[in-house]
Amino acid sequence: MSPRPIHGLTFAELQREARALVPRGHGRASAVYQAAVREGRFEPEALGLGAEASEAWRAAFDLRLLDVVRVTEEEGELGTTAKAILRTDDGLEIECVRIPMGRGRHTLCISSQVGCKMGCAFCETARLGLLRHLRTDEIVGQVLTARHTLGWEVRNVVLMGMGEALDNYDHVVHALRVFNDPVGFAMGQERFTICTVGRVDGIERLAREGFKRLNLSVSLNATEDATRDRLMPVNRKTPLAALQAALASYQPRANFALGLNYCLMPGLNDTREDAARIAEFCRPIRRVLVNVIPYNPGNAPLTRAPTDDEVDAFIGWLRDEGLPVRKRITKGRSVMAACGQLGNVELRARRRAGALPVVD
Binding residues for ligand SF4, rule: CB under 6 A, are 116, 118-120, 123, 125-126, 162-164, 197
Between 14 and 264, name the residue whose CB sits nearer to ligand SF4.
Answer: 264
Catalytic: 120? no
181 neighbors 34 (Cβ within 8 angstroms): no
Query: At its nearest, how many Å lie between ligand SF4 and the CB of residue 138?
Result: 16
161 neighbors 114 (Cβ within 8 angstroms): no
**Count of C-beta atoms within a 10 Å radius of residue 113:** 27
Between 125 and 269, name the residue whose CB sits nearer to ligand SF4.
Answer: 125
Pairing status of strand 61-62 against strand 4-5: parallel
Query: At its nearest, how many Å lie between ligand SF4 and the CB of residue 133?
Result: 13
H or E element at residue 29: helix 29-39
205 neighbors 196 (Cβ within 8 angstroms): no
Query: At its nearest, how many Å lie between ligand SF4 and the CB of residue 121?
Result: 9
Query: At its nearest, how many Å lie between ligand SF4 and the CB of residue 243?
Result: 14
For residues 235, 236, 237, 240, the Cα torsion angle rounded to the nearest 10 degrees is 40
Between 10 and 196, name the residue whose CB sits nearer to ligand SF4.
Answer: 196
State the chain's maximal CA–CA distance in angstroms.
70
Query: At its nearest, how many Å lie between ligand SF4 and the CB of residue 125?
Result: 4
Q: Could you please report the per-residue DSSP string of 231-278?
A: H-THHHHS-HHHHHHHHHH--SSTT--EEEEEEE-TTTS-SHHHHHHH
**Cα separation, 316 vs 309, whole angstroms:** 10
Between 64 and 127, name the residue whose CB sits nearer to ligand SF4.
Answer: 127
Kindly name the residue from 120, 195, 263, 339 that is annotated as catalytic. 339
Query: At its nearest, how many Å lie between ligand SF4 and the CB of residue 119?
Result: 6
3-class secondary-structure state, position 39: helix
Between 18 and 114, name the residue whose CB sits nearer to ligand SF4.
Answer: 114
Q: Give the closest residue to 258 by CA, choosing from 238, 239, 278.
A: 278
Between 164 and 181, name the residue whose CB sits nearer to ligand SF4.
Answer: 164
Q: Which amino acid is at 2?
A: S
**Cα separation, 261 vs 282, whole angstroms:** 12
Q: Give the closest residue to 69 by CA, choosing from 85, 92, 58, 46.
A: 85
Between 118 and 282, name the residue whose CB sits nearer to ligand SF4.
Answer: 118
Query: At its nearest, how many Å lie between ligand SF4 and the CB of residue 41?
Result: 33
Q: Which long-range contacts (CB under 8 A, 24 or more apart) does 248-256 make?
A: 248/284, 248/285, 248/286, 249/207, 250/203, 250/206, 250/207, 250/216, 251/207, 251/286, 252/207, 252/211, 252/212, 252/213, 252/214, 253/212, 253/213, 255/287, 256/286, 256/287
Q: Give the closest residue to 210 by CA, choosing from 251, 167, 252, 170.
A: 252
Active site residues: 339
